[in-house]
Structure 1
Amino acid sequence: MGRALQKQMSLYDIISGINDNFCNWRYTKGRRPSSANSRDKSMYDGWFTSFETKDNTNFQILIQVEDWDFVSLPNVYVKAPLPDYIQNLLPLAHFSIDKREYKGDWYYSVCYSLHDAYELKISDPLGVLGWVLDKTKIIIEALIKNKRHRSDEFLRELTPIWQSIASYHSSNLIKSNDAAVQSIHDLLLPVIYDLKQGWHLVPWIVKDGHIEANTLIIHIPSKQLAKIPSMPSVFIDVKSSKGIPLKYFLLWLKQWSHVAFRLIVSEIASNIERHRETTLYFPVCLVVDKQLLSLCIELENLKELVSGSASKHLKLANHSKLLSNSKVVFSSAVNLTPNFLFTRNLDNLEQPNLIGKNIALLGCGAIGGYLGLSLARLGAGASGGKLTLIDSDIFQEENIGRHALGKAYLHRMKASALKQEIAQQIPDLNIEVHNINACNRSILKNISNYDLIIDATAKIEASETINKFFFDSDGKTPPLIHSWIRGNGECVQALYNDKDTNYACRSCINKSGNSIREEYDALKGMTAARSFMACADFTPFAVSASMSAAALTIDMILDWLQGDVSPRYRTRYTEKWMGEKIESKDYAPSLECHICKIN
């Protein structure tokens, strides 16, 4: 029996079970509640129900099931209008900003569970639906009865609430025929690359990538986050659908941060004075911790408030009408600052990153391509640091099958191409390129300038040269990590070198022109298959080997950042390798090594 047919046949049983177990539930079938003309014409199963809070407030609920596998939870909507004392609390965490229409009635959608924070027995539809209603009741009861909880949830959901209001404004601005309002709509997707402490002006990058105006960035200490008052209901009033009256926004902001309030008022006046004939809007971004709260202030109606240098401050009481007619439009900023991009996934792990460090990547081939992109994602080249890419090879057709780059970079220098690809994915990094051989003395003589050197050439001849220069260098040298692929990808390996410690170096593993020494050999008795082209040969391996080698190296770099790189000689096998395996550990140097034993 097909799964769809099975569900169709069992729906009757589900409805019967609900009638038996939930006496006040009433079945309905219809489209998803929508605040506008929706393109989704699908019909979904749903139930009307209700519940009462402890103070006897009644809530009418619509539960709608779009996915009977429950990979996506059922949607919950609360019927409007809400009781006055709750309506006046909006916008609230977990409640949508706008109402959605369903069969002639209006509803607010309610978020009652984190997407990844539930464990349900999905084979029990009645249990799931009962759990959904119970969670909704708990959420609503806590929000309306516990002021502290309501405040905590508002702060936790501040960015989603702000973005919901921004979407509400955007959808209404699109319909506007007002040129000034339309010009504000054009600024609704700022991209912020740099945030300094205090306040400053930076370019405001908009949707199509060009700079429209300077934005006032105000950095508010995270300790002031708890001082943010709840947003007044006028922020989501129908009359504010095309922007919030500036007067109400400034009054709200003043309760939270006098510094931000004074800066905005002062800069509005200065902005009009500087650009009296052209300025229609003034962009602002409030930064609290890693949250960006961006907005545009419409200035056309404010110009008569500022007459010459004598008027540098806007008085709320004296200009109430004009301030009410001027609008503030919330926008959803794109946060591309290093503090957000490179710490978001590591902060809770107490894991340092590469922000501010100077990293050299020698070799931008199969391993180096994936390494370069990964290093950038760890912050290499950000906030005063530098990522240096070094490779003399040209990206050819035969490289595409196992490289991070694609056909757009054919016949380009690999290092330059990799820099461009990184810049397209992660902007505003300091990346330096040298399209020369990684063994060039002009490169190697400057190794002391780096915090870490990564050898991804994956050729023993090049690695041996780099290793020799590393040990022959006078003075302090940074750590050196070698990364390579063995056989036809049966395993990948990485080795950490530090001259201050007495462990095996790359030349201990094997000397160019010689077999790998037995105690270090990860693939004993294995002979790799080779392929031949005109005047060249190569070792074939799948792209998984390139990615695995890069991943192994990144793991070692993360351990280096933590201050503990042991084991220094690491091997990661594929599941298909059935031969003898060596252990990843700190290996002693070889007595026959012609590099580290001499030094």
Structure 2
Amino acid sequence: MNLIDLKTSILRNLPEKSQNGLLGKKVFQVGLGSIGGYMADSLIKIGAGIDDEFTIIDNDILSIDNIGRHLLGIEYIGKSKSQAFKEYAQRQTFNQIQKLNTKDNNISDYNFQYFMDNPVDLIVDATGSIEVQEYLNELVQQMPLESRPNLLHLWIFGNGECVQGFWHDAKLQDHQGGCIQCLGTSANGLFESTLPIRNLNKEQRFGVCSAFTPYAVSGGMMASSLGINMILEWLETGMVKNNYQTRYNSEYQNEKINDMLIMADVNCPYCGEKYAKSI
């Protein structure tokens, strides 16, 4: 018998307007890296995986290079991130996350038909990868409007000067447009009007086999916090008013952008036609 009931603890700490958090919601998360580890842990603490399916995919192995900014510690080095996170989560919750499914898969293993056959309420993209953002957006756009899940993208900008989130709500896109590719593309980057920091010289470092972008553990934690707040807004109000949000770290004191509502952009391959019809 469990001495602590996880569901009771979660409901106790959620504001009344959040109702039951993610209890009863199906969630699918892509990525268990520096953002994804903290995000998955936080999603459980607002109800994911207790009453309904919480699926997480990541085909990477946890290495010593990850430890400085990852939720998981040294004891998990050499294990797949998905396996390691499941062990961590079950240990933290006395094995009360019965609906948690972790898989050593890549998002390219999934197509829109998978989500038609296995519908979810929310997809969380915690990879910070523009290519994954575009793949998920294309996947969701292929689905009938009434079947599309909400889609949340999270990423760290530069060397952690700020973090950003984009919320794709199918209901809003139907009448006003607005998806991740209304911000820019992998080929051209963010449009000037949506850049959180202009003329940024991002620091790059080189490891044994690849280059990497240095940023502190706070980057992943800030992005996760932003994501949870956007999800709670959705649970509380049924929508996210400003679907493009930015949070700056305390050291950054230069020009900033405000949270904003992104609508259809003429250059977007999915929303451009809608924009053209509205003007």
Output the TM-score relative to the length of structure 1.
0.43
Answer yes or no: is 1:505 the counterpart of 2:175: no
Contact 2:28/2:120 (CA < 8 Å) preserved in 1?
yes
Segments of structure 2 that go 5 or more residues without pairing to the other structure are 275-279
Tell me the equivalent position of 2:22: 354
Q: Determine which of 587, 593, 599 is the counterpart of 2:262.
A: 587
The answer to which structure has the higher strand fraction is: 1
- Structure 2: which amino acid aligns with 1:554? I
Tell me the equivalent position of 2:105: 436
Tell me the equivalent position of 1:317: none
Tell me the equivalent position of 2:149: 478
Tell me the equivalent position of 1:386: 53
Alpha-carbon deviations, 1:330-374, whole Å to 9, x = none? xxxx22241x12101115565431112110011111100001111
- Structure 1: which amino acid aligns with 2:44? A
Q: Take 2:273 and 2:61, find their aligned partners in 1: how far apart are those partners?
A: 36
Q: Take 2:139 and 2:16, find their aligned partners in 1: how far apart are those partners?
A: 39
Q: Take 1:587 and 1:573, find their aligned partners in 2: how far apart are those partners?
A: 19
Q: Take 1:503 and 1:488, find their aligned partners in 2: how far apart are those partners?
A: 31
Offset of residue 441 of structure 1: 2.6
- Structure 2: which amino acid aligns with 1:387? F
SS in 2 for 1:379: coil
Tell me the equivalent position of 2:245: 570
Q: Take 1:337 and 1:434, find their aligned partners in 2: how far apart are those partners?
A: 23
Q: Take 2:166 and 2:202, find their aligned partners in 1: how far apart are those partners?
A: 21
Segments of structure 1 that go 5 or more residues without pairing to the other structure are 1-190, 193-333
Q: Determine which of 61, 65, 89 is the counterpart of 1:398.
A: 65
Contact 2:14/2:46 (CA < 8 Å) preserved in 1?
no
Residues 317-328 of structure 1 aligned to structure 2 (within 5 Å): none
Offset of residue 575 of structure 1: 1.9
Q: Which runs of 4+ in 1 moved over 3 A?
A: 347-352
Contact 2:177/2:271 (CA < 8 Å) preserved in 1?
no
Alpha-carbon deviations, 1:401-422, whole Å to 9, x = none? 1110011111111112111111
Contact 2:37/2:85 (CA < 8 Å) preserved in 1?
yes
- Structure 2: which amino acid aligns with 1:537? A
**Structure with bigger gyration radius:** 1
SS in 2 for 1:570: strand
SS in 2 for 1:399: helix
Alpha-carbon deviations, 1:247-298, whole Å to 9, x = none? xxxxxxxxxxxxxxxxxxxxxxxxxxxxxxxxxxxxxxxxxxxxxxxxxxxx
Offset of residue 505 of structure 1: 1.4
- Structure 1: which amino acid aligns with 2:102? V
Answer yes or no: is 1:450 the counterpart of 2:124: no
Greater RCO structure (CA 8 Å; 6+ sep): 2
Offset of residue 500 of structure 1: 2.5
Output the TM-score relative to the length of structure 2.
0.90
Offset of residue 440 of structure 1: 2.1
SS in 2 for 1:439: helix
- Structure 2: which amino acid aligns with 1:336? D
Tell me the equivalent position of 2:277: none
Quickly say closer, same or farther: Cα 1:497–1:348, change in 2 above 3 A.
closer
Quickly say closer, same or farther: Cα 1:534–1:598, change in 2 above 3 A.
farther
